[in-house]
Amino acid sequence: MAKATFGGGCFWCTEAVYAQIKGVESVVSGYIGGQVENPTYKQVCSGLTGHAEAVEITYDPAVVPYEKLLDRSAIFYHDDEQKKVAQQVIIRLNAAKVFPSKIVTTLEPATVFYPAEDYHQDYFALNGFQPYCQAVIAPKVTKVRKVFKELLKDE
């Protein structure tokens, strides 16, 4: 098993997407990149800790390669190989002009990852009926199911 850590805005959305992917063993919502130990959600939302909301993914690279997991605004690499692969993917996507603007995803060495409070874990799976989940997370999950069908876990 290997670890990958990504910051992509709201960790509820990110967690819901990665949890569906074949080869992903677990997805933990949490905080990374700041200067406060064991921050709370409230502290991170204040903007004063320097942390980003992120997900830490445990995955089987034999089932889903690291490259297939790369699609976030911040990539926290765990080794030089992950950094190299991420750089290559960004270069390739920019050269192909896949997006109208240059990719601005940051590559940063992974530091201490602090799991978020329990009520943030498996948020969409447990709260899919909530208006925020229906309006924001559900459309993203639907898009992933449509566009990345070959990567999804068997239901």
Q: Residue 111: what pLDDT?
A: 92
With the CA atoms of 54, 103, 69 and 34 taken in that order, what torsion angle do they form, in degrees rounded to the nearest 10?
A: -20
Total domains in the fold of the chain: 1
The CATH number assigned to the domain holding 133 equals 3.30.1060.10
Domain span holding position 38: 2-151
pLDDT in tens, the chain (155 residues): 999 998 877 888 889 889 989 999 999 999 998 999 999 999 998 889 999 899 999 999 999 999 888 866 788 999 999 999 999 999 999 999 988 888 878 898 999 999 999 999 999 999 989 988 898 889 888 988 888 888 888 87
Catalytic residue numbers? 10
How many CB atoms are closer than 10 A to CB 136?
15
Q: Residue 71: what pLDDT?
A: 66
